[in-house]
A and B are shown apart, each in its own frame.
Chain A
Amino acid sequence: MTPPPATVQAPGSGETFLLNLGPQHPATHGVLRLKLTMDGEYITRAEPVCGYVHRMHEKMGENRKYAQFLPNTSRIDYLSAMHYTHAFVGAVERALGLAVPPRAEYIRVITSELNRISSHLVWFGAFLLDLGGFTPLLYAFDDREQILDLLEAITGSRLTYCYYRFGGVCHDIDNAFLEGTRAFVARMRPRLRLYHELVTDNIILRNRLIGIGPIPLELCRRYGATGPVIRGSGAAYDVRKTEPYSVYPQFDFDVPVYPEGDSMARYRVRMDEIEQSLRIVEQALERLPSGPVRAEGVPRVLKLPAGEFCCAVEAARGRFAVRIVSDRREIPWRVKLRTPSFSNLSLFEEASRGMMLPDAIALLGSLDLVIPDIDR
């Protein structure tokens, strides 16, 4: 069953109609709207319309002290809150030259990677839902629940964590967390194998993903697509490797790369990343140093030196970067948030041209969008 090439010219009289996909639609996972110009079931033009959950986080950043804005960052991409707070505290720490205690850095890595796994599990379930497979979602959420419980115990939140602090983390982790994380790693490996057996090797899934929605590397570069999207197109671009932050250089992990650029490649990248994150968590647990978890003498109200400070992290969906412009006051002059879903979605219009509607849904799902991350 070979799918028709993505560039296939739609048959018919050339009469098109406008199909409004969203803002309320099961496949848009939130309030994204796609204005599709259709020729039959072929898409001749797809125009994403965003902004339905725009909250103007950047303006809020200009009205709050640094510590007050910190919780905002975890609300941008609610599925990958750890990474977002990490970028913000990272930028502030860079500006102040704060040295973070090693134990805190390790805890950050552990929690970040757990967060990445939970985010990928949500994607896995939701993506299969897009493809009409209902059951994997519940399995994925079962695993994710373990992570949420673990993180809830130490951070107090299940989703929008605000656990990192300028110069460390909020409080130390306990033995229950360490034990629970070890148990989770031991549990997750066989579960991943199960997913591969039940889902990845399924012939229907393969037919729906292989060769569908190809995104050439050049397209990724010109649109600034990052994360699993660019790694599924053949570039080993991972902020943890190319712009190392925290203690990531101390860990041995691979960056999964698949050159095909189709939806299957993006699927495989994320599944492999779960495995790599498990490896990182394992190593971090093994070598977890003792010591304080917060830098000494960080003032309650921070004043950054004048200048611009950037920090980028590898969030679950790709490169998230914070740019803080400070004028020595306790409130930033400007906070710019560069979010991965924004750039990843911007290539959809070009990538979906000439596709059939269900294929475009598969492509959209394989981009793993979180709408508040686009709209900010």
Chain B
Amino acid sequence: MSVSLPEPLRLFALLAGAMAFVGLNAAYLVWAERKAAGRFQRRPGPTEAGPAGLLQPVADVLKLISKQLMVPPGADAVLFRAAPVLVLVPAMICLAVIPFGERWVAREMPLGLLVLFAFGSIQVMAVMLGGWASRNKYAIISAARIVSQDVAYEIPMLLVMITLLMVTGTMDLGEIVRQQAGGFWRWHLFRLDANPLMPLTFVIYYICMLAETNRAPFDMAEAESELVAGAYTEYSGMGFGVFFMAEYANIVVGCATATVLFLGGWQSPIGVGSGPVWFLAKLYGLVFSVIWVRWTFPRTQFYGLLNLSWKILIPASLFILVLSGAALQLSGS
């Protein structure tokens, strides 16, 4: 796939593939989340539409599509309509550079990691725009929260990335995965020689990812018991649906990034039989843990969230950065 198609067709395939993936992924992650939440809560989850409720997402989408898109009076109509699109597009672009397998990547780039983080941080801005354009007090509070949350969590996330970059020495995602071939002890998660605190680095990344994707326990932007639906309060129909799709797409991008950087991407944990199956297994394993966290923990306090970042995560990731530099110097690589 990476070499066989001429450029315009390739672009088209990428777009169609990404959109289909984002749509299906969102629809069936919602189904999976509802099923999983059901199990966590000792109930069956959706059962009515289709076998095991498998047609539930179709019904949901049909319902959302058939609903009127409301623009509240006084809202900034252009920004209000643009926000869902602005949330979704960066997530799709991010998907383009993620290597699902040795040859399963839409566009291999030497600076793939940079693309991930450049576009990954846009989506937060777009949610903020949507909240601000809604002309709703809850949405504006939510927008203000998103900005401070984003500022607080971009920093430790990027510090963690620099640490990892020092270990990998490249921003090419495919190359990063190839470095981790040969069994799970070669994954960056367990590269204790490069940095004895590597598992902690992963934990910091994971927490930041939850915060960046606005997932519980950091779902300050939506916080339905406080802000009704936060930035999404005024959105109806597919406007809301697109935000929802983007949320799940972003979870997948965040988890895919973690898979590539820490868990060896498509590499098999036992060293043989590597392939996209492993990538998807790791990816959706992480996604499941994100769902698990959401249905287990209560929401943090907003200042608790900021304190966690500024007082714990940023110092810790700075320390790891220094430690990693020292370890690499000593080992002479």
Using a CB–CB distance below 8 Å, which chain A residues touch chain B?
A: 1-4, 17, 19-20, 25-27, 40-41, 128-135, 137-139, 142, 202, 204-205, 207-208, 356-359, 361
User: Would A139 and B298 be within 8 Å (CB), given that A26-B225, A132-B217, A132-B219 are in contact?
Assistant: no
Q: Are B226 and A361 in contact (CB under 8 A)?
A: yes
Using a CB–CB distance below 8 Å, which chain B residues touch chain A?
A: 37, 40-43, 137-138, 141, 144-145, 216-217, 219, 223-228, 294-304, 307-308, 311
Chain B residue with the shortest CB-CB distance to A358: B226
Q: Are A134 and B295 in contact (CB under 8 A)?
A: yes
Distance between Cα atoms of A40 and B137 in the complex (Å): 10
Return chain B residues, CB-CB under 8 Å to A359. 301
Give the 9 A-B CB pairs with smallest separation, nearest first: A132-B299, A133-B298, A138-B41, A131-B298, A27-B225, A1-B307, A130-B225, A1-B304, A132-B298
Q: Are B303 and A129 in contact (CB under 8 A)?
A: no
Distance between Cα atoms of A27 and B297 in the complex (Å): 18
A322 to chain B minimum Cβ distance, whole angstroms, is 34
Distance between Cα atoms of A19 and B294 in the complex (Å): 28
Chain B residue with the shortest CB-CB distance to A27: B225
B211 to chain A minimum Cβ distance, whole angstroms, is 13
B82 to chain A minimum Cβ distance, whole angstroms, is 26
Q: Are B223 and A132 in contact (CB under 8 A)?
A: yes
A356-B303, A358-B302 are known; give 16 further A-B pairs, CB within 8 A: A1-B303, A1-B304, A1-B307, A3-B301, A19-B137, A19-B138, A40-B144, A41-B145, A131-B298, A131-B299, A132-B217, A132-B219, A138-B42, A207-B301, A358-B301, A361-B226
Distance between Cα atoms of A333 and B186 in the complex (Å): 85
Q: Are A361 and B137 in contact (CB under 8 A)?
A: no
B104 to chain A minimum Cβ distance, whole angstroms, is 36
Q: Are A357 and B226 in contact (CB under 8 A)?
A: yes
Chain A residue with the shortest CB-CB distance to B43: A138
B289 to chain A minimum Cβ distance, whole angstroms, is 15
User: Would A205 and B42 be within 8 Å (CB), given that A1-B308, A361-B226 are in contact?
Assistant: no
> Can you give 5 A-B contacts (C-beta < 8 A)?
A3-B303, A41-B144, A135-B296, A357-B227, A361-B225
Q: Are B302 and A41 in contact (CB under 8 A)?
A: yes
Return chain A residues, CB-CB under 8 Å to B296. 133, 135
User: Would A132 and B302 be within 8 Å (CB), given that A1-B308, A138-B41, A358-B223 are in contact?
Assistant: no
Q: Are A3 and B298 in contact (CB under 8 A)?
A: no
Q: Are A131 and B225 in contact (CB under 8 A)?
A: yes
Return chain A residues, CB-CB under 8 Å to B40. 135
A227 to chain B minimum Cβ distance, whole angstroms, is 23
Return chain B residues, CB-CB under 8 Å to A134. 37, 41, 294-295
Total A-B pairs in contact (CB under 8 Å)?
A: 91
Distance between Cα atoms of A361 and B226 in the complex (Å): 7
Determine which of A41, A130, A139 lies in contact with B141 in the assembled complex, contact meaning CB atoms within 8 Å.
A41
A194 to chain B minimum Cβ distance, whole angstroms, is 12
Q: Are A208 and B226 in contact (CB under 8 A)?
A: no
Return chain A residues, CB-CB under 8 Å to B217. 132, 204
Return chain B residues, CB-CB under 8 Å to A41. 141, 144-145, 302
A369 to chain B minimum Cβ distance, whole angstroms, is 14
Chain B residue with the shortest CB-CB distance to A133: B298
Q: Are A3 and B304 in contact (CB under 8 A)?
A: yes
Q: Are B300 and A208 in contact (CB under 8 A)?
A: yes
Distance between Cα atoms of A135 and B292 in the complex (Å): 11
Return chain B residues, CB-CB under 8 Å to A2. 307
Return chain B residues, CB-CB under 8 Å to A138. 41-43
B229 to chain A minimum Cβ distance, whole angstroms, is 9
Return chain B residues, CB-CB under 8 Å to A133. 296-299
Q: Are B298 and A204 in contact (CB under 8 A)?
A: yes
Chain A residue with the shortest CB-CB distance to B308: A1
Return chain B residues, CB-CB under 8 Å to A356. 301-303
Distance between Cα atoms of A294 and B302 in the complex (Å): 56
A360 to chain B minimum Cβ distance, whole angstroms, is 9
A83 to chain B minimum Cβ distance, whole angstroms, is 27
B172 to chain A minimum Cβ distance, whole angstroms, is 38
Chain B CB within 10 A, most for which of A41, A137, A356: A41
Return chain B residues, CB-CB under 8 Å to A135. 37, 40-41, 295-296
Return chain A residues, CB-CB under 8 Å to B302. 41, 356, 358
Distance between Cα atoms of A332 and B290 in the complex (Å): 60
Q: Are B304 and A129 in contact (CB under 8 A)?
A: no
Return chain B residues, CB-CB under 8 Å to A40. 144
Return chain B residues, CB-CB under 8 Å to A1. 301, 303-304, 307-308, 311
B42 to chain A minimum Cβ distance, whole angstroms, is 6
